[in-house]
């Protein structure tokens, strides 16, 4: 009897325990359902006032914690095959020795490393030997710093107007920004950097207290209107460049608002902030900097888009450009970026033309913007936000690609690898052709070729180098427009070989080999 | 059983109720259930109550229906719902018409299978977003396309049932919903 009682109690205790466990599980489920239902409500609380002078992203982060948290993650972008974060990124010059010869006589031959995330853009620029060992122009800060409030301040000062932080915080004032942009275009890097440090990076509307926190890399105010949070473009270089493009006759089917503006009679200037579609703006904000430009001190920062966005259209603009005459009355002369040290030829430097190459690709033509892949939408709870962790889509294939591409992640990665490996191989082939060309030109110069004889060779050399650099410096290894990339590299190799052929055909005086042969006889 | 629990396990009627045989009318005056059983019954009741509440709060009954609104109980499906409402199929097919087989057994097995795994994914998080369809569910949608459209596509069908054929949604990817 007692035994039975004991057993009965044991069972009861065990059942009670099981029931308790089941209850815990059930309540956990209940609370989880409750939480998921709460997620579907998205409260937004504005806790601080941000203004046109708030280049410090911190206060914005109080209003938009999710976006700010993502933005901070660009500190540690993971390493992909072509870029990512290291304490000291590997030198491209060591990896690809031909780059040293391509950039001979130009700062890029001193220090040229793999790219890192947005968060590093200003500090990396401050320490690269290209800036520390060579005098650079302040125009570089157009893209590497949150510089618009500084342009506005200097512009207002130029116009003789009041430029207190309160005034700077009030509105965008495009006239002042443009005036400031032009005023600093001839100044040195150090001068402009000091000016950025002197501008308030925030302004407390209530107390009238300006905040002085130094210079910041590109931040919220560069792409967002502080009152409405609408995306917008702020960079004078882009605003002038896209207007030039709109006024050209380049058919830009991937930018429908430009087509509409032309159809409506091309009245006045094309203003992306009021005319572009939201989807176009999602690419324009990136096109403010990820482009080919002239950025030194002989003229104002220029985007070469007056003929269109294709590689040869950019080249044609540089061909037609003449530097403005110096203040001392010296003649500006024909446009060039640097004199190639090995051969003495004046050549062009291509700077990461991502916006231009993307424009030639199938994604642009299909209405896919930069942000769709590099800042894909993600759900936080039930709220849809653009990921502000700007990074390679290859780090985020599910969100970046599978919204449209209904195929397995691995297959997508394999396709991208295939494109990039083919491009890489073509770059190497074009690079070999270019290096051979340098050798041939050095050889004929030794043998006494005249400037007149060299003129056509120099032309071919400039074309070959520009094309190779155009794709080598572009950051997608051909992915943004794979056929266009292959075409351009093919042309580069061809022009280099043409230059070599012309070298062979030169009718030069007796070659050293002939003399030795004659002596031997 | 340990010693100190055994002494709590005394026979019921021994606390001041006199000898057990004092009541001739009931030779077994022991109550039907011990205290433990009553406590257990109460815990069971609490469990059942919380369970019923959770079932109601989580709209459990709606999952037995055919109503598309059920699928947006979870916000993860909101985009699918929104784009279905603008799709070419929205007035001829609801979610279940394409995502459950057209035979009763297959229908309920699939409902149970997806019900369980969807709940698991949504509860624990960490699922793909945009969500990716599983091969089994891909076969289901294929069978339902064919079931409704077979009169138009019979000459595309394979000679032997079940052998290889092109997936309808490979080309007609957004007839049901473009949102993912």
The token pair at A368 is 């896919």
Look at residue A462 and tell me whether its pLDDT is greater than 60.
Answer: yes
Sign of the torsion angle spanned by Cα atoms A505, A507, A512, A516: positive
Name chain B contacts of A40, Cβ cutoff 8 Å: 75
d(CA B178, CA B174): 4
Domain regions of chain B by residue span: 35-64, 69-170
Given this model, what pLDDT does residue A517 score?
47
Q: Does B166 touch chain A (CB under 8 A)?
A: no
| From A221-230, A248-257, A327-336, B137-146, the region with the lowest mean pLDDT | A327-336
Question: Best mutation site among A3, A20, A30 for testing chain B: the one with the most B CBs within 10 Å?
Answer: A30
| From A206-220, A298-312, A506-520, B139-153, the region with the lowest mean pLDDT | A506-520
Given this model, what pLDDT does residue B25 score?
53
Across the interface, of B39, B75, B130, the residue whose CB is closest to A398 is: B130
d(CA A393, CA A379): 17
Look at residue A511 and tell me whether its pLDDT is greater than 60.
Answer: no
Specify the higher pLDDT residue, A180 or A384. A180
Cβ proximity of A419 and A426 under 8 Å: no
Residue contact A9–B1, C-beta within 8 A: yes
Given this model, what pLDDT does residue A332 score?
78
Look at residue A242 and tell me whether its pLDDT is greater than 80.
Answer: yes
CA distances from B36 to A15, A50, A84, A512, B20 (A): 11, 65, 65, 113, 21
Angle CA B65–B67–B69, to nearest 5: 125
d(CA A337, CA A346): 7
d(CA B80, CA B95): 9
Name chain B contacts of A15, Cβ cutoff 8 Å: 40
Residue contact A30–B58, C-beta within 8 A: yes
Kindly report the CATH class assigned to B69-170. Answer: mainly alpha
Specify the higher pLDDT residue, A42 or A13. A13
Given this model, what pLDDT does residue A288 score?
96
Q: What is the pTM of this model?
A: 0.85
Across the interface, of A9, A10, A22, the residue whose CB is closest to B47 is: A22
Given this model, what pLDDT does residue A417 score?
95
pLDDT band at A39 (very low <50, low <70, confident <90, very high): confident
Which parts of A79-183 fold into alpha helices (H)?
Answer: 92-95, 98-102, 121-127, 129-132, 141-144, 148-158, 165-170, 174-183
The token pair at B126 is 């960490």
Look at residue A44 and tell me whether its pLDDT is greater than 80.
Answer: no
pLDDT band at A100 (very low <50, low <70, confident <90, very high): very high
Half-sphere exposure of A205 (CA within 13 A, CB side): 11
Name chain A contacts of B47, Cβ cutoff 8 Å: 19, 22-23, 26
Q: Does B1 touch chain A (CB under 8 A)?
A: yes
Taking all residues of chain A, what is their mean pLDDT, rounded to a whole number? 90
Q: Could you give the 3-state DSSP secondary structure of residue B146?
A: helix
The count of CB pairs under 8 A between chains A and B is: 80
CA distances from A273 to A49, A243, A419 (A): 23, 12, 35
Specify the higher pLDDT residue, B168 or A78. B168
Given this model, what pLDDT does residue B103 score?
95
| Range ranked top by mean pLDDT from A21-30, A70-79, A312-321 | A312-321
Name chain A contacts of B34, Cβ cutoff 8 Å: 8, 12
List the pLDDT tens digit at each of the 180 positions of chain B: 444 444 444 444 444 444 444 455 555 666 777 777 888 888 888 889 999 999 999 999 999 999 999 999 998 999 999 999 999 999 999 999 999 999 999 999 999 999 999 999 999 988 998 999 999 999 999 999 999 998 998 888 888 877 888 889 989 988 999 888
Across the interface, of B43, B122, B128, the residue whose CB is closest to A19 is: B43
Q: How much of chain A is helix, strand and coil, in % rounded to 5?
A: 55, 5, 40
d(CA A270, CA A276): 9
Given this model, what pLDDT does residue A423 score?
97
Across the interface, of B9, B37, B43, the residue whose CB is closest to A5 is: B9
- Cis bond leading into A206, ω under 30°? no
d(CA B16, CA A227): 81
């Amino acid at each position: 009897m007692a035994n039975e009682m004991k057993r009965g109690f044991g069972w009861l205790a065990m059942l009670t325990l099981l029931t308790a466990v089941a209850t815990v599980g059930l309540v956990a489920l209940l609370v989880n359902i409750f939480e998921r239902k709460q997620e579907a409500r998205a409260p937004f609380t504005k806790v601080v006032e941000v203004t046109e002078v708030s280049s410090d992203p911190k206060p914005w982060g109080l209003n938009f914690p999710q976006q700010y948290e993502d933005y901070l993650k660009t500190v540690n972008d993971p390493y992909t095959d072509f870029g990512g974060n290291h304490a000291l990124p590997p030198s491209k010059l060591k990896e690809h020795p031909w780059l040293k010869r391509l950039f001979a006589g130009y700062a890029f031959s001193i220090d040229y490393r793999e790219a890192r995330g947005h968060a590093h853009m200003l500090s990396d620029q401050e320490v690269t030997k290209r800036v520390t060992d060579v005098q650079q122009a302040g125009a570089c800060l157009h893209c590497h710093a949150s510089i618009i409030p500084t342009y506005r301040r200097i512009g207002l000062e130029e116009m003789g107007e009041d430029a207190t932080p309160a005034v700077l915080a009030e509105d965008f004032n495009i006239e002042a920004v443009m005036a400031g942009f032009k005023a600093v275009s001839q100044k040195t890097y150090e001068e402009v950097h000091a000016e950025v440090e002197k501008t308030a990076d925030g302004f407390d509307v209530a107390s009238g207290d300006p905040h002085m926190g130094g210079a910041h890399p590109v931040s919220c105010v560069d792409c967002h209107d502080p009152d409405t949070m609408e995306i917008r473009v702020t960079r004078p270089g882009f605003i002038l460049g896209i207007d030039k493009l709109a006024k050209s006759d380049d058919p830009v089917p991937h930018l429908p608002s430009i087509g509409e503006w032309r159809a409506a009679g091309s009245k006045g200037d094309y203003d992306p902030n009021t005319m572009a579609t939201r989807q176009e703006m999602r690419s324009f904000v990136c096109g403010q900097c990820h482009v080919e430009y002239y950025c030194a001190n002989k003229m104002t920062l220029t985007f070469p888009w007056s003929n269109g966005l294709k590689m040869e259209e950019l080249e044609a603009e540089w061909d037609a450009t003449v530097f403005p005459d110096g203040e001392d009355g010296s003649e500006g002369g024909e446009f060039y970026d640097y004199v190639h040290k090995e051969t003495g030829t004046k050549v062009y430097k291509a700077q990461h033309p991502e916006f231009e190459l993307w424009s030639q690709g199938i994604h642009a033509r299909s209405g896919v913007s930069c942000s769709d892949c590099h800042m894909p939408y993600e759900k936080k709870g039930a709220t849809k936000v653009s990921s502000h962790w700007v990074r390679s889509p290859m780090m985020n294939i599910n969100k970046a690609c599978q919204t449209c591409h209904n195929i397995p992640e691995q297959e997508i990665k394999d396709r991208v690898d295939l494109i990039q490996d083919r491009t890489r191989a073509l770059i190497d082939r074009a690079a070999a052709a270019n290096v051979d060309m340098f050798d041939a030109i050095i050889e004929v110069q030794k043998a006494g070729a005249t400037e007149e004889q060299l003129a056509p060779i120099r032309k071919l050399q400039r074309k070959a180098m520009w094309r190779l650099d155009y794709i080598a410096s572009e950051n997608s290894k051909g992915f943004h427009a794979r056929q266009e990339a292959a075409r351009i590299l093919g042309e580069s190799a061809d022009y280099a070989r043409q230059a070599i052929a012309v070298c062979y055909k030169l009718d030069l005086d007796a070659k050293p080999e002939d003399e030795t042969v004659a002596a031997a006889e | 059983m340990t010693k100190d629990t055994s002494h709590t396990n005394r026979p019921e009627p021994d606390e001041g109720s006199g000898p057990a045989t004092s009541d001739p009318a009931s030779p077994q005056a022991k109550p039907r259930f011990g205290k433990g059983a009553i406590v257990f019954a109460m815990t069971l009741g609490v469990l059942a109550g919380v369970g019923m509440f959770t079932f109601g709060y989580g709209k459990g009954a709606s999952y037995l229906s055919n109503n598309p609104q059920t699928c947006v109980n979870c916000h993860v499906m909101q985009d699918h719902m929104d784009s279905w409402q603008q799709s070419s199929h929205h007035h001829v097919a609801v979610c279940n018409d394409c995502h459950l087989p057209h035979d009763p057994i297959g229908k309920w097995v699939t409902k149970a299978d997806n019900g369980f795994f969807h709940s698991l994914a949504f509860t624990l998080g960490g699922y793909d977003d945009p969500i990716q369809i599983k091969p089994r569910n891909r076969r289901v949608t294929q069978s339902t396309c064919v079931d409704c459209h077979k009169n138009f596509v019979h000459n595309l069908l394979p000679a032997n049932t079940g052998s290889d054929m092109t997936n309808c949604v490979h080309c007609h990817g957004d007839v049901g919903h473009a949102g993912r």
